[in-house]
Amino acid sequence: MEDITVGELSTRLQNGEKPNIIDVRELYEHQEFNIGGDLATLQTSFPFKIQELKGRENEEFIVYCRSGNRSGMAKHLMVQSGFKNVKNLIGGMLAWQEMYKTN
């Protein structure tokens, strides 16, 4: 199962795709800057999100965080729960902001 780069995801969004995106950062991080993902904080609400998504294990999900570490853990948890197509956004929001020079 491969991960996804900022460039790949950006192109998909610009082409009008609406992938299932989950932001696993803290609320304050999400409020500061996000790309429209559903917020499900890794340490608190993410386990509930996994339960909520049961029955959708074959759909694609893209998880992101600040740098890719927490979302890497989130991907692992989803795969352990039977999800078949989970991608981690490589470099997270740091890479996104670097590519687009946003704050």
Model confidence pLDDT, tens digit, residues 21-79: 999 999 999 999 999 999 999 999 999 999 999 999 999 999 999 999 999 999 999 99
Q: Note whether 21 and 38 are within 8 A (CB).
A: yes
Give the span between the Cα atoms of 95 and 25, in whole angstroms: 15
pTM of the model: 0.94
94 Cβ neighbours under 8 A, 6+ residues apart? 66, 67
Q: What is the CATH number of domain 6-100?
A: 3.40.250.10
Q: Are 22 and 74 contacting, i.e. CB atoms less than 8 angstroms apart?
A: yes
Q: Quote the pLDDT of residue 100.
A: 86
